């Protein structure tokens, strides 16, 4: 099978030889892992990408490159890594005019998940365009069963016919974590007490303000240190408070400011506990990477977290008070070795490049063989 793989737009701040942790997951590391996994199955994967630093320029260059590629060489299928970059409908237009090829697209989130606040805050009028992109693909790959159920349920509420069509096309295949790069970043060295990591983007659905409330309480009650891996933009409502907290607890609140990817992975290996305070999670790449590096994760019972944790009560908490109590206990006694080992093995097995690539290949085969 010969696959034309359409990569995702990479924001200029995330570009460069090492990238930064903002490029993690959906932008870079998971895409690289998926391509490697597909090639590991003996498939030919040609990647279409552009170095353009403006999305409008990048989109035009990608569509032109796809048009050139499918006209010049025979491919079996086009696989796009994101339904919105570029729009799947635009890819379909190019393919319909150039080559009769099946088109499969990932979608990493959706306007049809009402908890995905980022989309509603930044692109509030693209809800129907989002659905149109999904309907333009022969198959839609989603990162979790949670996403599959959520999208189908929401679409069904407005159009039973659209939901029926989408049901036949949508497949939950997961997303691979880049285990090779994660393991290459492991560094031996002394541990500095208990480190709690917050490795989410500072957007509304991840509730950075709640995290800061929890961190303030734990800093007062324990000797733990916190690592905040992502940059909090100065205009955000949380940046000032994080800066004040770091000044009040020097050495115990560490601001990574978007670490280079390999430094980020190294920091995960040196961390002990990962927490989420999110109200939205389609998969949880940050959590899976933390699990894979031996962190004891504490996650709210929302979104895909029950799915990726196997509904483990040792990992899922009920409310903020429960989270605080568990953190105090874990700092005092240390992460539970059996919990850490169980989830490290599960993350590495279920979300390995080979495992996810095999699932993706099965879907690609559906459309290639008809």
Residue 240: its pLDDT value, please?
94
Give me 338's structure tokens: 């059996």
Q: Which of these, 199, 203, 30, 31, lies nearest to 116 by C-alpha position?
A: 203
SS3 2: strand
CATH 3.60.40.10 fits 184-350, yes or no: no
CATH architecture of 2-176+352-369: 3-Layer(aba) Sandwich (3.40)
Within this chain, domains 2-176+352-369 and 184-350 share the same CATH topology: yes
HSE-CB at 222 with a 13 A cutoff on CA atoms is 24
Residue 338: phi, psi to the nearest 5? Answer: -70, -35
Are β-strands 273-275 and 296-300 bridged in parallel, bridged antiparallel, or unpaired?
parallel
Residue 13: its pLDDT value, please?
54
Q: Please report which confidence band the pLDDT of residue 18 belongs to, taking 50, 70 and 90 as the band edges.
A: very low
Give me 129's structure tokens: 């365009």
Average pLDDT of the residues of the chain: 93
- Percent of the chain whose predicted confidence (pLDDT) is above 90: 84
pLDDT above 90: residue 14: no
Are 298 and 320 contacting, i.e. CB atoms less than 8 angstroms apart? no
Give me 87's structure tokens: 């729009």
How many whole angstroms separate alpha carbon 43 and alpha carbon 36? 10
pLDDT above 60: residue 21: no
85-126 per-position pLDDT tens digit = 899 999 999 999 998 899 999 999 899 999 988 888 889 999
Q: How far apart are the first and last CA of the chain?
A: 14
45-82 per-position pLDDT tens digit = 999 989 898 889 999 999 999 999 999 999 999 999 99
Mean pLDDT check: name the lowest of 160-169, 213-222, 226-235: 226-235
How many whole angstroms separate alpha carbon 183 and alpha carbon 268? 11
121-149 per-position pLDDT tens digit = 889 999 999 999 999 999 999 999 999 99
335-351 per-position pLDDT tens digit = 999 999 999 999 999 99
* Domain definitions of the chain by residue range: 2-176+352-369, 184-350
Q: Is the peptide bond before 47 cis (omega within 30 degrees of 0)?
A: no
DSSP letter (8 states) at residue 204? G
Q: Supply angle C-alpha 218, 269, 312, rounded to 5.
A: 65
Q: 0.85 exceeded by the pTM?
A: yes
Residue 24: its pLDDT value, please?
43
Type and span of the H or E element at 355 = helix 353-369
303-333 per-position pLDDT tens digit = 999 999 999 999 999 999 999 999 999 999 9
Query: How many residues in the chain?
Result: 370
Q: Please report which confidence band the pLDDT of residue 12 belongs to, taking 50, 70 and 90 as the band edges.
A: low
Are β-strands 316-317 and 296-300 bridged in parallel, bridged antiparallel, or unpaired?
parallel
Are 25 and 174 contacting, i.e. CB atoms less than 8 angstroms apart? no
């Amino acid at each position: 099978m010969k696959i034309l793989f359409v990569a995702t737009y990479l924001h200029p701040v995330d570009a460069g030889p090492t990238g930064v942790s903002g490029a993690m997951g959906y932008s870079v590391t998971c895409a690289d892992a998926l391509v490697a996994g597909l090639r590991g199955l003996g498939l030919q994967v040609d990647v279409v990408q552009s170095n353009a630093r403006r999305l409008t320029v990048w989109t035009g260059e990608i569509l032109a490159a796809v048009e050139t590629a499918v006209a010049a060489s025979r491919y079996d299928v086009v696989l796009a890594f994101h339904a919105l970059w570029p729009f799947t409908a635009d890819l379909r237009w190019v393919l319909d005019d150039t080559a009769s090829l099946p088109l499969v697209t990932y979608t990493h989130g959706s306007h049809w998940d009402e908890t995905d606040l980022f989309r509603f805050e930044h692109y509030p009028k693209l809800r129907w365009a989002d659905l149109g992109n999904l309907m333009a693909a022969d198959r839609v790959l989603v990162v979790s069963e949670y996403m599959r159920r959520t999208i189908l349920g929401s679409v069904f509420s407005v159009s039973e016919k659209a939901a029926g069509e989408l049901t036949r096309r949508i497949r939950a295949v997961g997303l691979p974590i880049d285990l090779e790069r994660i393991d290459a970043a492991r560094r031996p060295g002394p541990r500095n007490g208990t480190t709690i990591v917050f490795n989410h983007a500072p957007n509304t659905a991840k509730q950075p303000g709640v995290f800061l409330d929890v961190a303030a309480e734990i800093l007062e009650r324990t000797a733990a240190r916190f690592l905040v891996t992502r940059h909090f933009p100065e205009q955000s409502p949380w940046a000032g408070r994080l800066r004040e907290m770091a000044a009040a607890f020097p050495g115990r609140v560490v601001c990574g400011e978007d670490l280079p990817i390999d430094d980020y992975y190294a920091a995960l290996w040196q961390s002990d506990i990962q927490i989420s305070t999110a109200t939205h999670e389609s998969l949880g790449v940050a959590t899976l990477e933390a699990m894979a590096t031996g962190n004891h994760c504490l996650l709210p019972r929302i979104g895909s977290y029950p799915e990726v944790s196997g509904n483990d009560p040792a990992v899922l908490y009920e409310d903020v008070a429960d989270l605080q109590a568990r953190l105090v206990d874990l700092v005092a006694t240390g992460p539970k070795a059996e919990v850490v080992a169980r989830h490290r093995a599960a993350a590495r097995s279920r979300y390995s490049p080979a495992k996810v690539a095999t699932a993706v290949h099965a879907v690609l085969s559906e459309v290639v063989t008809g």
